[in-house]
């Protein structure tokens, strides 16, 4: 009897340990998706929950031993309800009453933290009836909690995202929490004083969370609609990011990643023509092109206008992003089927990039030909790999490298704007090659924009800035350059001032390229001189300061 009772308590501890850690992850992810600055949000949320767990662990000493099991099960039922419903409640609050979001967020965090803090001390007190030795009791209870936490982390990271959205995951965690309460109610029914009330509360909560689980996607769409001016037509959470598409009354498509606008169909051509074509005017007959980022296929659309291109490697970390670009009708209409209408090879993000260039391209299918004879068809390779890893593993040199990353609005993205990253990029750039990078706004985030240029220069590259106005974004900037031994700043500027466009464009002209090289008086003046490294994340600091305060 004693062994069986202890086993049931250990099983409950295992389940609760997994759910507890997963609650922390889920609330942290919600905060990061809504507020940005993921590293800071994860640290703050988990730190606040751990603090409240400590308070809860201390407060439990005030609970008398009489009816302790009833109190514990009641706390678990409440925890399941709050943990399951919390993320959806936060999403609705952020959309409908953003002023009160932080209050609501930390109310959930503190409440869940307090309830989690009750668990281990109460389990140990209940188990002391069956195992009297304190060191054995605590050792086994803590062991099961820590093992459960590991299991919860693995399931949250690798299993749940494959089948469920983040909001659905929260409801599943709540139901798992309630399963532990159910086990305790069934096994210890003879020792429970208010069995009927607890069963009523438990079954009611299970019913609420089950119904919510089946309605989660509809409710999530309704909640997200408050976050966007236009109608949401797609909402998809991948392993790496949250993607939303909206359609306006004017039939304009906007794409958002983690809440940040990536493009609007009305003016994306201004951005992508500026990103691609100036570089092509500097390189005669470019054959091998590398695009880092750009999983929407819009930069590839512009690249594949050039008949001299024989090979295009596009690296985007998220296979679901490139999947949308290849299969979603709105993406296909915008990118002109650029990721399908060529010979396509896909290397998944867990595959090593071969060092032999004969192996890296495995032809899967052939469709539209981009100029020339059949043997001159452009080969397009989609690589689902971290860009920094790709630069280390990919062999050969590229005539043009186009860097189309999201803005450095997190510490994870900041590493892709670091000096070491640009050194690796330089290793993959041909001697006469050119690279170009989107570099956020030189007006709203001037110091971040200039930090990018300094970091490139510190990597033995010659670069110059240029800019244009994009209605959806405002003033926007890019950096373009090449190897220092081949290019000078004056040489780059002179060549761009004399440029001619070899392919048709919707917006860009040689005159606009020329004008884009010039900035207003003192617009790029700064007293800062720091570069961005893997350690200091200086660009992230500049970026936050710029977009929060403006210049």
Do residue 205 and residue 128 come from a single domain? yes
Do residue 288 and residue 423 come from a single domain? yes
For residue 454, what are the β-bridge partners? none
Do residue 368 and residue 479 come from a single domain? yes
The CA distance from 312 to 414, in Å, is 25
> pLDDT digit string (tens) for 481-527?
999 999 999 999 999 998 889 999 999 999 999 999 999 999 999 98
Q: Is the pLDDT of residue 375 over 50?
A: no
pLDDT the model gives residue 258: 83
The CA distance from 437 to 442, in Å, is 13
The CA distance from 128 to 95, in Å, is 47
Domain of 444: which CATH number?
A: 3.40.50.150
Last residue of a domain, one of 215, 246, 262: 262
What is the CB neighbour count within 10 angstroms for residue 358? 7
Q: Kindly report whether the global pTM for this prediction surpasses the value 0.85.
A: no
Do residue 44 and residue 142 come from a single domain? yes
Q: Which of 397, 358, 364 is nearest to 380 (CA)?
A: 364
The CA distance from 162 to 156, in Å, is 10
> pLDDT digit string (tens) for 115-163?
999 999 999 999 888 888 888 989 999 999 999 999 999 999 999 988 8
- Average pLDDT in the 452-473 region? 96
pLDDT the model gives residue 162: 85
What is the CB neighbour count within 10 angstroms for residue 201? 18
Q: Say how many Å lie between the first and final Cα of the chain, rounded.
A: 71
The CA distance from 421 to 131, in Å, is 56
Q: Is the pLDDT of residue 412 over 50?
A: yes
CB-based contact 377:385 (threshold 8 Å): no
Do residue 286 and residue 198 come from a single domain? no
pLDDT the model gives residue 383: 84
Do residue 251 and residue 341 come from a single domain? no
Last residue of a domain, one of 225, 254, 281: 225
pLDDT the model gives residue 504: 95
Do residue 327 and residue 211 come from a single domain? no
Do residue 216 and residue 178 come from a single domain? yes
> pLDDT digit string (tens) for 46-83?
999 999 999 999 999 998 888 899 999 999 999 999 99
Binned at pLDDT 50, 70 and 90, residue 537 comes out as confident
pLDDT the model gives residue 374: 40
- Burial class from Cβ neighbours inside 10 Å (0-12, 13-18, 19+) for residue 354 reads middle
pLDDT the model gives residue 341: 58
pLDDT the model gives residue 377: 58
The CA distance from 63 to 115, in Å, is 13
Do residue 204 and residue 236 come from a single domain? no
Do residue 301 and residue 166 come from a single domain? no
What is the CB neighbour count within 10 angstroms for residue 36? 16
Q: Which of 429, 436, 431 is nearest to 516 (CA)?
A: 436
Binned at pLDDT 50, 70 and 90, residue 396 comes out as confident
Do residue 35 and residue 177 come from a single domain? yes
Domain of 20: which CATH number?
A: 1.20.1250.20
Last residue of a domain, one of 197, 225, 253: 225
Residue count of the chain, please give it.
Answer: 551
Q: Which residue has the higher pLDDT, 358 or 86?
A: 86
How many structural domains comprise the chain? 3
Q: Which residue has the higher pLDDT, 537 or 273?
A: 273
Q: What is the mean pLDDT of the chain?
A: 89
Do residue 180 and residue 287 come from a single domain? no
Q: Taking the CA of residue 454 as centre, how many other CA atoms within 13 Å lie in the half-sphere pointing to its CB?
A: 18
Backbone angles phi, psi at 474, to 5 degrees: 90, -150
Q: Which residue has the higher pLDDT, 459 or 410?
A: 459
- Domain boundaries, position 273: 266-549
pLDDT the model gives residue 348: 52
């Amino acid at each position: 009897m004693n062994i069986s009772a202890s086993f049931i308590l250990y099983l409950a501890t295992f389940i609760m340990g997994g759910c507890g850690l997963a609650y922390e992850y889920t609330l942290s992810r919600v905060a990061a998706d809504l507020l940005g600055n993921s590293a800071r949000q994860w640290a703050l949320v988990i730190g606040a929950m751990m603090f409240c767990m400590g308070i809860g662990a201390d407060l439990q000493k005030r609970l008398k031993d009489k009816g302790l099991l009833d109190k514990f099960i009641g706390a678990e039922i409440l925890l399941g309800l709050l943990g399951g419903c919390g993320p959806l409640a936060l999403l609705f609050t952020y959309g409908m009453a953003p002023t009160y979001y932080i209050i609501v967020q930390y109310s959930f965090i503190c409440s869940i933290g307090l309830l989690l803090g009750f668990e281990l001390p109460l389990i140990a007190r209940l188990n002391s009836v069956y195992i009297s030795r304190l060191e054995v009791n605590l050792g086994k209870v803590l062991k099961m909690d820590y093992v459960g936490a590991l299991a919860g982390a693995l399931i949250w990271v690798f299993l749940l995202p494959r089948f469920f959205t983040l909001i659905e995951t929260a409801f599943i965690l709540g139901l798992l929490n309630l399963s532990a309460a159910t086990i305790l109610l069934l096994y210890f029914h003879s020792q429970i004083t208010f069995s009927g009330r607890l069963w009523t509360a438990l079954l009611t909560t299970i019913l609420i969370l089950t119904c919510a689980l089946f309605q989660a996607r509809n409710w999530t769409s309704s909640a997200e609609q408050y976050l966007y001016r236009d109608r949401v037509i797609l909402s998809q959470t991948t392993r790496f990011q949250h993607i939303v598409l909206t359609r306006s009354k004017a039939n304009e498509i906007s794409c958002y990643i983690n809440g940040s606008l990536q493009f609007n169909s009305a003016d994306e051509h201004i951005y992508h023509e500026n990103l691609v074509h100036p570089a092509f005017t500097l390189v005669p007959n470019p054959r091998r092109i590398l695009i880092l980022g750009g999983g929407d296929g819009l930069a590839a659309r512009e690249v594949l206008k050039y008949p001299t291109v024989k090979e295009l490697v596009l690296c985007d970390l998220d296979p679901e992003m490139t999947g949308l670009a290849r299969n979603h009708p709105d993406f296909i209409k915008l990118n002109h089927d650029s990721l399908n209408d060529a010979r396509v090879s896909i290397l998944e993000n867990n595959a090593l990039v071969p060092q032999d260039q004969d192996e890296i391209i495995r032809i899967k299918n052939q469709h539209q030909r981009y100029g020339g004879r059949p043997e001159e068809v452009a080969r397009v390779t989609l690589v689902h790999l971290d860009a920094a890893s790709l630069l280390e593993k990919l062999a050969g040199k590229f005539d043009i490298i186009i860097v189309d990353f999201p803005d450095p609005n997190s510490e994870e993205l900041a590493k892709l704007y670091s000096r070491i990253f640009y050194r690796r990029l330089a290793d993959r750039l041909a001697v006469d090659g050119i690279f170009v990078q989107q570099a956020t706004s030189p007006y709203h985030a001037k110091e971040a924009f200039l930090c990018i240029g300094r970091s490139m220069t510190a990597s033995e590259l010659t670069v110059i800035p240029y800019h244009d106005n994009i209605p959806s974004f405002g003033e926007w900037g890019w950096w373009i350059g090449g190897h220092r031994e081949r290019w000078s700043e004056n040489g780059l500027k002179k060549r761009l001032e004399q440029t001619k466009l070899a392919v048709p464009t919707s917006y860009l002209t040689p005159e606009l390229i020329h004008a884009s090289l010039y900035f207003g008086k003192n617009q790029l003046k700064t007293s800062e001189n720091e570069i961005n490294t893997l350690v200091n994340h200086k660009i992230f600091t500049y970026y936050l300061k710029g977009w929060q305060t403006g210049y």
